[in-house]
Amino acid sequence: MDNFRCGFVALVGRPNVGKSTLLNRLVGQKISITSRRAQTTRHRILGIKTQSDYQMLFVDTPGLHAAQPRAMNRYLNRAATDSLAAVDVVLFLTDGSRWQDDDDWVVQRLQDLSCPVIAVINKIDRIENKQTLLPFMGMLAGKREFADIIPLSARTGDRLAALEAAALRHLPVAPPCYDEDQVTDRTQRFLAAELVREKLFRKLGEEIPYALTVEIESFKEEGRLLRIHALIWVAKAGHKPIVIGHKGQLLKEVGREAREDMQQMFERKVFLQLWVKVKEGWADDERALRSLGYNGT
């Protein structure tokens, strides 16, 4: 264990560049929810990968974005920025098919970091003309000094080993922080709420997901059975029937899919009940955000 390495690796970038998909791929199982909606990730998620000679502690963060019209947006930026404190290396993710203004904004946020920053060009599997990668890498190199620039696909795992090797070079020699069989520091209660929210994000339209959250009201272990009661909070009374769906069909589908994922993740039978309630304007209210668990952790 004399040469064992252990350290924190933060994943940052604008919304929807594939940070959570990359985290799940690196750890080897699903611990961070994903959807096509921007800002699906709302909390810091720690993913733990342990090998014989190292332990990488990956920190998935909410997407950084310049516009901050709501209390929720400001919370997400704070959560992402606070996660950069005391990490050993930062992975800056961008989408290889397009550069956006928010990418520049994130690069500016990274300028004062003292730790190495590795640029990760994600979604190369979607780039038909791979010759465009070279000028994209050249453009990126002109933005700031990066320790490495690595194109990859988080979805397929292509060139994942190159990224891991690059990150490992910057980790300090240190003993492991967690047991070798632990893959996250999050509780099953937290993960259950996230799985319900993921299914809602995937089934609902553009606007509603940002104005809903999930709170686990009850989480009880009864032998090999988990009995979970979850509240889905929406910000407007008009959102409630949309979330429930015609004759309750949408809510039934959300419950079934979330329950199946929970049973696979927790390796036990799950009984899941969902209710939808209204908390007017919760996403614009700092106090309401704190009461619903948005406290920066």
The residue extents of the domains of the chain are 5-168, 188-291
In whole angstroms, what separates CA 205 from the centre of its chain? 20
Work out the pLDDT band at 151, boundaries 50, 70, 90. Answer: very high
Q: 163: which 2 tokens?
A: 């990224």
Cα 168–Cα 169–Cα 175 angle in degrees, nearest 5: 60
Q: Which helix (H) or strand (E) holds 168?
A: helix 160-168
Distances (CA, A) of 205 to 52, 63, 71, 271: 45, 20, 21, 27
Q: 102: which 2 tokens?
A: 């928010």
* Residues 210-260: tens digit of each pLDDT: 678 899 999 999 999 999 999 999 988 999 999 999 999 999 999 999 999
Q: With 70 as the cut, is the pLDDT of residue 5 above it?
A: yes
Q: With 70 as the cut, is the pLDDT of residue 292 above it?
A: no
Supply the mean pLDDT for the chain: 86
Instruction: Tell me the C-alpha distance between 94 and 17, whole Å.
Output: 6
Cα 31–Cα 32–Cα 34 angle in degrees, nearest 5: 135
Q: With 60 as the cut, is the pLDDT of residue 91 above it?
A: yes
* Residues 37-52: tens digit of each pLDDT: 655 556 678 899 999 9
pLDDT in the model for residue 77: 56
Q: 182: which 2 tokens?
A: 């632990």
pTM equals 0.80
CATH for 188-291 (3.30.390.50, 3.30.450.20, 3.40.718.10, 3.30.300.20): 3.30.300.20
Q: Which helix (H) or strand (E) holds 248?
A: none
pLDDT in the model for residue 88: 93
Of 21, 22, 9, 18, nearest to 96 by C-alpha is: 18
pLDDT in the model for residue 167: 96
Of 241, 248, 246, 262, nearest to 197 by C-alpha is: 262
Percent of the chain at pLDDT > 70 equals 82
Q: Classify domain 5-168 at the CATH topology level.
A: Rossmann fold (3.40.50)
* Residues 135-149: tens digit of each pLDDT: 999 999 999 999 999
